[in-house]
């Protein structure tokens, strides 16, 4: 079962910017090979950090406004939000340890 929920532009502010815990957002697209490679890693993190970090996915093809707002130039881009602000990000396929370190720093 997928635990990383797909977000749309209309729900982004409520789910991410107003969240009371850190939020990891995976900016991706269906045609992106590295994005598909990172999908199981993002899923595993969403399960491992359940209750402590919310994990969402934003399809840049469906939500071009969010991609432009956050200056997403390459995908996958994984951004970490805390208290309504982007506090960290990684671009491209990354080892799980890089993402865990990013999440642990935010907790």
CATH assignment of the domain containing 74: 3.40.30.10
Q: How far apart (Å, rounded) are the C-alpha atoms in residues 62 and 49? A: 26
Residue 84 has pLDDT above 80, yes or no: yes
Q: How far apart (Å, rounded) are the C-alpha atoms in residues 19 and 31? A: 29
Q: Which domain holds residue 46?
A: 5-106
Q: How far apart (Å, rounded) are the C-alpha atoms in residues 104 and 34? A: 23
pLDDT band with cut points at 50, 70 and 90 for residue 3: confident
Q: Which two tokens stand for residue 22?
A: 């850190």
pTM, 2 dp: 0.94
Residues annotated as catalytic (active site), given as ranges: 32, 35
- The tally of domains found in the chain comes to 1
Residue 15 has pLDDT above 70, yes or no: yes
CA distances from 73 to 23, 51, 53, 77, 83 (A): 20, 30, 25, 8, 24
């Amino acid at each position: 079962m997928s635990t990383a929920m797909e977000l749309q532009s209309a729900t982004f502010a409520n789910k991410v910017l107003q969240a009371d815990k850190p939020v990891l957002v995976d900016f991706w697209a269906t045609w992106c090979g590295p994005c598909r490679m990172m999908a199981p890693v993002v899923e595993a993190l969403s399960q491992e950090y359940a209750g402590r970090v919310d994990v969402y996915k934003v399809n840049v093809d469906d939500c071009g406004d969010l991609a432009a707002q956050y200056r997403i130039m390459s995908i996958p881009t994984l951004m970490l939000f805390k208290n309504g602000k982007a506090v960290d990000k990684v671009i491209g396929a990354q080892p799980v340890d890089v993402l865990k370190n990013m999440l642990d720093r935010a907790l």
